[in-house]
Amino acid sequence: MRRATVYFDVDLHKALRIKSLESDRSLSDIVNDAVRQALDEDHQDLAAIADRKREKSLSYEAFLKGLKSRGQI
């Protein structure tokens, strides 16, 4: 593990301390889990973007025209 100094908003720090006490987990564990989750979400988003790069682009006007032709608007 590496040590880092992180500054939290007062209310956020209070919420983390309460959660830490109620869950019998350290603040470090809670923050590490939250950061891991955020990084995993970023990884998934980047993968989805890479997958969609091959999709054909569709203009807003063409999309509306398609809705109109199908009677959806």
Q: Residue 34: is its pLDDT beyond 90?
A: yes
**pLDDT, tens digit (0-9, with 9 covering 90-100), for 2-25:** 999 999 999 999 999 999 999 999
**pLDDT, tens digit (0-9, with 9 covering 90-100), for 41-65:** 999 999 999 999 889 899 999 999 9
Confirm whether pTM is higher than 0.75.
Answer: no
pLDDT at position 54: 87
Backbone angles phi, psi at 47, to 5 degrees: -65, -40
Share of the chain above pLDDT 70, in %: 100
Burial class, 20, CB count within 10 angstroms (exposed 0-12 / middle 13-18 / buried 19+): middle
pLDDT at position 29: 97
